[in-house]
Amino acid sequence: MARSREARICETRPMNDIEEATRLTVEFAKSLIREMQALGTPWQKAFLRAEFGDGEETYKGSFVLDGGVYLIDVLEHRAFFAAVRELVPQLRDASATGDRRFCVALLVVDSTFDYEVKYEYADSGRWAISKFGGASGIPVGYEL
């Protein structure tokens, strides 16, 4: 089976700065875990989505409690979002493969401190977080 051009590019080009990308990924996860712990209430899972496109950046987050899913209020968590706005573009640059950068990053953490970061390179609408129009607040397409 022939590999796609994109797969071949990733195999031949190393990440711009793998050590820095690793450090920033861990810091990204720690920042969301710390913010959730500061809530002072038992939480189960939290999501933070960063989207890049057309010269703009958008950050949205949500978290799961026993009582449901809640959006992370940007104004209430102003310092957290300010820090994330500094960190994630650095992660995007460090984790790039040549000039290829993600357009969406989805960070998922849970209360046992497990985390994963997913990257999307083409679909800027992937893993949208919203409660608008009856949406759940869970990233679209993410299975709990």
Q: Look up the pTM and report it.
A: 0.88
Report the DSSP beta bridge partners of residue 116. Answer: 108
Q: Which band of pLDDT confidence, cut at 50, 70 and 90, is reported for residue 131?
A: very high
Tell me what percent of the residues of the chain surpass a pLDDT of 90: 83
Q: In degrees rounded to 5, what are phi and psi of residue 6?
A: -60, -40
pLDDT, tens digit, for every residue of 70-122?
Answer: 999 999 999 999 999 999 999 999 999 988 999 999 999 999 999 999 999 99
Q: How many helices (H) and strands (E) does the chain have?
A: 3, 5
Amino acid 1: pLDDT: 44
Amino acid 60: pLDDT: 98
Average pLDDT of the segment spanning 43-67? 95
DSSP string, 92-121: HHHT-BTTB--SEEEEEEETTS-EEEEEES
Amino acid 7: pLDDT: 43
The C-alpha angle 135, 45, 96, rounded to 5 degrees, equals 85
Amino acid 98: pLDDT: 87
Domains and CATH numbers, the chain: 17-134 (3.30.500.20)
pLDDT of 66 > 60? The answer is yes
pLDDT of 4 > 70? The answer is no
